[in-house]
Amino acid sequence: MGKRGYLNEDLEFKLFQRLNGDAAEMYGRRRAICGRRQFRFVFPPKEVEVEIWMWYKICWKCGKVTPVVWTSPYSVVGGFNVDPNDFKELPKKISEVYPFFKPIYSKTMDKYVYGNVCVNCGAYQGNWFVREEILEMAYKPSEIIEKRKIKVSLTEEERLERAIPEEVLKLEKHHISYNPEKTIFVCRSCHRRIHCTNDFPHLKQGD
């Protein structure tokens, strides 16, 4: 990886295998002459900070007030919002600070997940409902009891899943032929060389 955290060739190849045809074609586009890429994929950092919000809600089962936590809607890694169960290390670290956030069986998902349980009766509060509530909390900042930032280390796979494309070169369309229409993508420097020099006579049919 370079200074900007660009993926190396092996990781880019792994990522391209996961993209659909259109996305792979667009992000894999290269200069026709010098072969450099228009887009490069940027890795998120190895360690990120995720903000956690805590507020109170009424337990659906016992009707008493219980605290709940969720990742802030402003917590973003690699251009995507972060949920508590997105990263392997994150839910465990949340649970260390907030013991009522712990592994619990979800009937909806038919598996164990980390989620909020009522401190009074132990009822699972449902991640979907808590996630919906935190969107409301963004407009009710006075109801947020605590905000805390937690640092987590990401695995290579988690970083790869959140790698985002960054345009590093501007490409221009050059006509090799107008009838039939045939074009190639080139950078501005190479485009100028095609039209202003004899370096690429086989590409000058469009003049």
Instruction: Give pLDDT, residue 176.
Output: 84
SS3 189: helix
Return the closest-CA partner of residue 174 out of 148, 156, 195, 146.
195
Instruction: Give pLDDT, residue 206.
Output: 47
Instruction: Give pLDDT, residue 180.
Output: 84
Instruction: Give pLDDT, residue 91.
Output: 97
Cα–chain center distance at 190: 33
Segments making up each domain of the chain, as ranges: 9-43+164-203, 47-161
Averaged over 24-45, what is the pLDDT? Answer: 75
Mean pLDDT computed over every residue of the chain: 86
- Partners of residue 81 on adjacent β-strands: 76
- Segment among 95-99, 154-158, 180-184 with least mean pLDDT: 180-184
Q: Are 85 and 70 in contact (CB under 8 A)?
A: no
Return the closest-CA partner of residue 83 out of 43, 47, 113.
113
SS3 66: strand
Rounded distance between C-alpha atoms, residue 170 and residue 36, angstroms: 11
pLDDT band at 31 (very low <50, low <70, confident <90, very high): low
Averaged over 150-176, what is the pLDDT? Answer: 86
Rounded distance between C-alpha atoms, residue 44 and residue 6, angstroms: 9
pLDDT band at 205 (very low <50, low <70, confident <90, very high): low
Cis peptide before 180 (omega within 30 of 0): yes
Residue-wise burial string across 151-187, b where 16 or more C-beta atoms lie within 10 A, e elsewhere = ebebeeebbbbbbebeeebebeebeeeeeeeeebbbb
Rounded distance between C-alpha atoms, residue 152 and residue 188, angstroms: 42
What pairing do the DSSP bridges indicate for beta strands 164-167 and 171-178?
unpaired
Rounded distance between C-alpha atoms, residue 200 and residue 190, angstroms: 10
Instruction: Give pLDDT, residue 196.
Output: 84
